[in-house]
Structure 1
Amino acid sequence: MIFSKLLATALITTVALTAVSADELKGRGASFPGPIYKAWTAEYFAATKSQVNYTPTGSGDGIKSIKKRMVDFAGSDKPLKPKALKKGKLHMFPAVVGSVVLAYNIEGIKDGELKLSRAAIAGIFNGSIEFWDDKKITEQNAELKLPHKPITVAVRADKSGTTFNFTYFLNKLDENIKVSKKPKWASKKVIAGKSNSGVSANIQQIKNSIGYIEYSFKEKLGLTAAQIENKEGKYINPTLASFQDAAKYATWTAENDFYAVIGDPAGATSYPIVAATFILLPTEKTETNKQVTKFIDWAFENGDKAATDLGYVPLPKETKDAIRAYWEAKGVK
């Protein structure tokens, strides 16, 4: 009798746990939006008691995982073209806009003091500039004492949407640098780390290093970042205001599933390395997709402050409304 009661209790517990598990949404992919997705999922759970788990493994892993239907949704900073979406049977839409900064670790050089011209950035990442006191760097930084030390370039070890967007910008500076999620770097000293966290940790630990990371990782770790020369020849610090100015130049349409790359926008006050991050959904999982879009819709309504606090740029109202119309057209709202 006691055993029967224990067994019944165990079965009830198992069913309850299974029900909780079934209601839990699982996503993975881009680490670029990791901090804001972490904030949104926590706030969403507090408000609705609905659990959404997102693991920032990198855009390449996210795309692979959603294609294999290993997760309910994926994050990617590299937008997929309509042909690739059709082949993978996927929907896609943007969630938020962020930025890529060049963080450095040079003794005595404070945050925002280092200015990097487009020629200097290209030289550092194509391998033609090897030392910090190279003329192409010092000519914009006469007041700084830059050392005759070799530059260690911190990059991603994994297939990365952050890398895709950064190399998109680099390709504007040097056409020999190809746009890629995982390029072969020509720099003489390279250290690779997995995800934005890994690259950030390498910059923090290695003297005379420089690397590309999402802005909120720079803020979280208190790293120093360079002013970057934009398309108009102005040196721009990475700030929410300069990101917002750049994001104004984004153009998305539902007709091509919102495919767009914002990198190197126009505008004298625009920060030059900004990027949207995207959500990917499997077309056949209509009911699960409705739960994902419910979460994102909640974030669109309630998550702008969390986004700006972390240095991301929320999508404008007209873009959010276009995304909601896209959901309705696809039957996932």
Structure 2
Amino acid sequence: MRRHSLNRSSTTLIGVAAAFSLAACASSDQGTGNQQGRLSAAGASFPAAIYQRWFQDLAPEGIQVNYQSIGSGAGVRQFTAGTVDFGASDKPMQAEAIAKVSRGVVQVPMTAGAIAVAYHNPGCELKLTREQLAGIFLGTIRDYSALGCKAKAIKVVHRSDGSGTTYNFTKHLSAISPEWSNAVGASKSVQWPTGVGAKGNEGVAAQLTQIDGGIGYVELAYVKGDLKAAAIQNGSGDKVVPTNATANRALGSIDLGPDLIGSNANPTHGYPIVTFTWVLAYANGNGSNTDVLKSTFDYMLSEESQAKAPELGYVSLPPEVIVQAKAAANTIKE
């Protein structure tokens, strides 16, 4: 895989809904044909930057997609209620949730990335042990002086909405800290021991930028400007900063399994807080949208689209995952 800069595009992410045109690529190997239509989608803010970029870049071809970046929890609710054509979540749906969707569910990994521990403290270079990371968000470590930097109050910012980013971050904290696992646990929404809330990756990043001493968790694409990403201790004890290369190394160790929903909360190698993110499609009952949906998903999984991931702060899917994802997406029916 080529290595790219992790600089985010200047595309503005603020705003919950943006309608873009999604191209139905004409090449037969992508199978997009010459489809036209309108689709509505909602869910995770984690992949919003790349989804919006894909949709915007493919604008001229006639498939209109309105993607609302409202968080994984709200996206799953809308998908379950049948008010969107497809959903998006950083936490795959489990059997109990899938049983509530009468049309069946196909979960397709679309991209991947790292969840960074972002902080706003000029002159401080954080290299956190497992104990320090858990202590910050448990509220037992309250000053940067305990982390090897100049004295300054630590001000935690976390998500206020139901979030796959929160699920994956708290899943990592649960894996590395028995205290966190027992007291808080892992979920899309948790009772935070400390800090203030903000909505979406966008909101957390905006809050951190405004707070001197702020620290929180966001998808790596949102770490920019005055924000830095801390080095985090992985399963082998190495302290690693999130980059395309270190995230890819960790993701490569994850076995997605036959349903394509596998994960690893604490990889031994690479940057340890990584996740795939999924599109949620209906297995049946897609009607006249079926071919349009297949065209949309096939383009998102194309080599052209996946090659754009690193420049936006994401990690391109491994080739073997793309093959599996395309096969899954192709199973949706009218």
Q: Indicate the TM-score class for this superposition, using the shorter chain for normalisation.
A: 0.7 to 0.9
For the Cα contact (< 8 Å) 2:119–2:214, is it kept in 1?
Answer: yes
1:192-207 alignment, distance < 5 Å: 192-207=197-212
Point out where structure 2 has 5 or more consecutive residues left out of the alignment.
Answer: 1-35
2:245 is matched with 241
Residue identity matched to 1:229: Q
For 2:277, what is the secondary structure of its paired residue?
strand
| Matched residues, number | 291
TM-score (norm 2): 0.82
Point out where structure 1 has 5 or more consecutive residues left out of the alignment.
Answer: 1-21, 139-144
For the Cα contact (< 8 Å) 2:248–2:315, is it kept in 1?
Answer: yes
1:150 is matched with 153
Give 1:28 deviation, angstroms: 0.8
Q: Deviations over 1:75-115 (max 9, x none)?
A: 10011123422332322121111110011111322xxx211
Aligned partners of 2:332, 2:117: CA distance in 1, in Å?
39
1:228 is matched with 232
For 2:254, what is the secondary structure of its paired residue?
coil
Give 1:63 deviation, angstroms: 0.3
1:306 aligns with 2:313: no
- Say which one has the larger Rg: 1
* RMSD, aligned α-carbons: 1.7
2:67 is matched with 54
1:163 is matched with 166
For the Cα contact (< 8 Å) 1:164–1:181, is it kept in 2?
Answer: yes
1:8 is matched with none
Q: Match for 1:90 among 74, 95, 105?
A: 105
For 1:303, what is the secondary structure of its paired residue?
helix
1:181 is matched with 188
For the Cα contact (< 8 Å) 2:105–2:283, is it kept in 1?
Answer: yes
For the Cα contact (< 8 Å) 1:41–1:53, is it kept in 2?
Answer: no
For 2:63, what is the secondary structure of its paired residue?
coil
Aligned partners of 2:261, 2:95: CA distance in 1, in Å?
8
Residue identity matched to 1:115: K
For the Cα contact (< 8 Å) 2:209–2:226, is it kept in 1?
Answer: no
Aligned partners of 1:74, 1:67: CA distance in 2, in Å?
9
Give 1:314 deviation, angstroms: 1.6
Give 1:74 deviation, angstroms: 0.7
2:56 is matched with 42
Structure whose residues are more often helix by fraction = 1
Aligned partners of 2:203, 2:162: CA distance in 1, in Å?
13
For the Cα contact (< 8 Å) 1:262–1:276, is it kept in 2?
Answer: no
Taking structure 1 as reference, are residues 233 and 75 closer, same or farther at Cα in structure 2, changes over 3 Å only?
same
Taking structure 1 as reference, are residues 222 and 108 closer, same or farther at Cα in structure 2, changes over 3 Å only?
closer
1:285 is matched with 285
Aligned partners of 1:290, 1:125: CA distance in 2, in Å?
45
For 1:170, what is the secondary structure of its paired residue?
helix
For the Cα contact (< 8 Å) 1:161–1:181, is it kept in 2?
Answer: yes
1:125 is matched with 137
Q: Match for 1:253 among 252, 257, 264?
A: 257
Give 1:325 deviation, angstroms: 2.2
The worse-fitting range, judged by mean Cα deviation, of 90-99 and 79-88 is 79-88
Residue identity matched to 1:131: D
Taking structure 1 as reference, are residues 207 and 222 closer, same or farther at Cα in structure 2, changes over 3 Å only?
closer
Q: Match for 2:267 among 250, 265, 268?
A: 265
1:215 aligns with 2:216: no
TM-score (norm 1): 0.83
Moved over 3 A (4+): 327-332
Give 1:146 deviation, angstroms: 1.9
For the Cα contact (< 8 Å) 2:294–2:330, is it kept in 1?
Answer: no
